[in-house]
Chain A
Amino acid sequence: MYNTGDMVKELADKYGRKRESLMPILQDIVKKHNFLTDEAMVEVATELDISAAEVYGTASFYTFLDTQERGKNVIRVCKTITCSMKGKNDIISTIEEILKIKVGQTTPDKMFTLLETNCIGWCHKAPAMLVNDMPYTDLTTETVIDIIKGYMRK
């Protein structure tokens, strides 16, 4: 268990306490813990001397700064047109089957969250997805199972 207040203080020491420090601080919290807890947002608000509503309002604007709980591995399957054309629905149903959750949900052991996202810039190798920061491209129903199983083993 980590101490939220200490973590935020460390980040504020690293990036500063100005308004422009907000994005790097929130991004680092998400990198460590995959989403922003209420407690973390309140601590950030206190360190930067802005209101908690402001922190929440800014974070909720950005798709990757989740304020809802997310699992250890966040899967984002691209749903924009080329990936759609090249079979993203099959990829999604494969993942839904293997993880036993639907899009938008997190597995009970909090290991995986399955989401859809907009164009991630791999249209020539569609369908594609991100798991946390890593892109996976040229997906097939077989390769995606291997990828997920790889994360399960970690």
Chain B
Amino acid sequence: MKSKGLTKVDLIFESVDSREVLVKAFSMTNEEIINQVLESGLKGRGGAGFPTGMKWKFTAAEKDPDKYIVCNADEGEPGTFKDREILDRAAYKVYGGMAIAGKAMGAKKGFIYLRGEYRFLLPQLYLELHKFHKMIAEIGYDFNIEYRMGSGAYICGEESALFESIEGFRGEPRNKPPYPTTSGLFSKPTSINNVETLVTAMMIIAKGPQEYVKLGTKDSRGSKVFSISGDTPIPGIFELELGMTVQEFVNEFGDGDTKAVQVGGASGFCVPRKKFEDTIIGFEGVPTGGSMKLFNSSRSMYNVLHNYLDFFAEESCGQCTPCRVGCQQLLKGVEKVKKGESKSTYLNELVKLADTMKVASKCGLGQSVGNAFKSIVENFREEIIY
């Protein structure tokens, strides 16, 4: 695997004349916009990595005149705080990205689902929104954005749970199919995109897709905003090209004693030191919504695992058996093994359970618990047992 090397990029926070970009977008046809996004190779920046151009294309193809563009600002993955920063510093680009998406798909209405923990941002977000609506009206484009607040539920970051929450229900993920592009918010065709994805899309239209294609790798085009925390001398937000190895990442951000990097938050993978060289940060290696946590040798990986499992047992919506009960079993299981009340071989049974959760859970939460579980248990077994 050839690494791209670690390169800092300034795309998301770069200033642009929003009005100029939007006028340019509105002069393009819907197909042109979608083709540019497809050409750029942009994949969802929230963590799931679905090709953005494809999502917009599917939604555009639906015949229903009522469609929605939804911005997923429910950033809840532990270790992810980049969307907060983007909203704080470049909300106008989020709105602009939504307007462009709306144009491409024929959606006149946009919703931003903002997590309750970020409520303090609202006054300034509304100021920006007011300016945006004024500008849009001056350009003569019919598009309106509304905020809907979350109230403390990680699972509402899952697309269909998010729709349920806006519609006034518990955030319980739905059966799929139908998929959101066919039947999403209020059962209408919906494209739901991450904050960063929408900003990136706007920049792609502003600068042209070729600029974006230059960055990243074949499978992981472009750059990504990373939120870096843990045992690092320089925690914070950094925009980097995709395709570097974890080793290169650690060289830049580690504190000299990094023993593991959790890529992708609690639902991501734990990469141990021995795999730093061979692991690419990108969709072809370990994907991430941006969360990067570094652990040095003073940290107990048992504590890390326990913290993640406790998180999931609490945040699971509770509707499906593998996740609701599975999370509790994994949590209690590692506790018992640590205390010596269960044999260490019980961990093997739990790994099999994690595999079942991966294939039988109703949504991404249950399906991802096994990622952290297996990667920590397999690479740090001794710390779990002793």
**CB nearest neighbor in A for B308:** A81
Q: Please encode chain B, from 310 to 325, with 1 for each CB lying within 8 Å of some chain A CB and 0 for all others.
A: 0100110100000000
A26–B148 CA distance with the chains assembled, in angstroms: 13
Point out the residue from B84, B228, B299 that lies within 8 Å of A85, measured CB to CB: B299
Say yes or no for B255: interface residue by CB 8 A criterion: no
A62–B299 CA distance with the chains assembled, in angstroms: 32
The smallest C-beta distance from B305 to any residue of chain A, in angstroms, reads 10
The smallest C-beta distance from A14 to any residue of chain B, in angstroms, reads 14
The smallest C-beta distance from B376 to any residue of chain A, in angstroms, reads 12
**In the assembled complex, which residues on chain A have CB atoms less than 8 Å from the CB atom of B80?**
119, 121
Q: Is the CB of B153 within 8 A of A81?
A: no
Q: Is the CB of B293 within 8 A of A20?
A: no
Selecting from B24-32, B162-170, B338-346, the interface stretch reads B162-170
Say yes or no for A51: interface residue by CB 8 A criterion: no
The smallest C-beta distance from A82 to any residue of chain B, in angstroms, reads 5
Q: Please encode chain B, from 252 to 268, with 1 for each CB lying within 8 Å of some chain A CB and 0 for all others.
A: 00000000000000100
Q: Is the CB of A64 within 8 A of B148?
A: no
Given A19-B169, A119-B76, A124-B229, A84 contacting B81 (CB threshold 8 A): no
Q: Please encode chain A, from 21 to 44, with 1 for each CB lying within 8 Å of some chain B CB and 0 for all others.
A: 111101100100000000000000
Interface size on B, residues (CB 8 A): 48
**In the assembled complex, which residues on chain B have CB atoms less than 8 Å from the CB atom of A119?**
76-80, 154, 311
Say yes or no for A133: interface residue by CB 8 A criterion: yes
Q: Is the CB of B167 within 8 A of A124?
A: no
Given A64-B116, A65-B151, A121-B75, A57 contacting B170 (CB threshold 8 A): yes
Q: Is the CB of A80 within 8 A of B170?
A: no
**In the assembled complex, which residues on chain B have CB atoms less than 8 Å from the CB atom of A118?**
76, 78, 154, 311, 314-315
Q: Is the CB of B230 within 8 A of A85?
A: yes
Interface size on A, residues (CB 8 A): 37
Given A121-B84, A133-B119, A64 contacting B168 (CB threshold 8 A): no
**In the assembled complex, which residues on chain A have CB atoms less than 8 Å from the CB atom of B75?**
121
Say yes or no for A103: interface residue by CB 8 A criterion: no
Q: Is the CB of B81 within 8 A of A23?
A: no
The smallest C-beta distance from B84 to any residue of chain A, in angstroms, reads 5
**In the assembled complex, which residues on chain B have CB atoms less than 8 Å from the CB atom of A65?**
151-152
Interface members, chain B 163-213 (any A CB < 8 Å): 165-171, 186
Q: Is the CB of B168 within 8 A of A81?
A: no
A24–B119 CA distance with the chains assembled, in angstroms: 13
Interface members, chain B 68-120 (any A CB < 8 Å): 75-81, 84, 115-120
Q: Is the CB of B149 within 8 A of A24?
A: yes
**In the assembled complex, which residues on chain B have CB atoms less than 8 Å from the CB atom of A27?**
116, 149, 151
Say yes or no for B353: interface residue by CB 8 A criterion: no
Q: Is the CB of A80 within 8 A of B151?
A: no
Say yes or no for A148: interface residue by CB 8 A criterion: no
Point out the residue from B166, B228, B308 that lies within 8 Å of A124, measured CB to CB: B228
Q: Is the CB of A64 within 8 A of B79?
A: no
The smallest C-beta distance from B134 to any residue of chain A, in angstroms, reads 23
Given A62-B152, A64-B151, A119-B78, A81 contacting B169 (CB threshold 8 A): no
**In the assembled complex, which residues on chain A have CB atoms less than 8 Å from the CB atom of B170?**
57-58, 61
Sorted from nearest, which 7 A-B pairs have the closest CB atoms? A63-B152, A124-B235, A123-B229, A62-B151, A64-B152, A22-B168, A19-B168
Chain A residues in contact with chain B, CB under 8 A? 18-24, 26-27, 30, 57-58, 61-65, 79-82, 84-85, 117-126, 130, 133-135
Instruction: Give 20 A-B contacts (CB < 8 Å), ordered by A residue.
Output: A19-B168, A21-B168, A23-B165, A23-B166, A58-B170, A61-B171, A62-B151, A81-B303, A82-B78, A85-B230, A85-B231, A118-B154, A118-B315, A119-B78, A119-B79, A121-B115, A123-B227, A123-B229, A130-B117, A135-B117
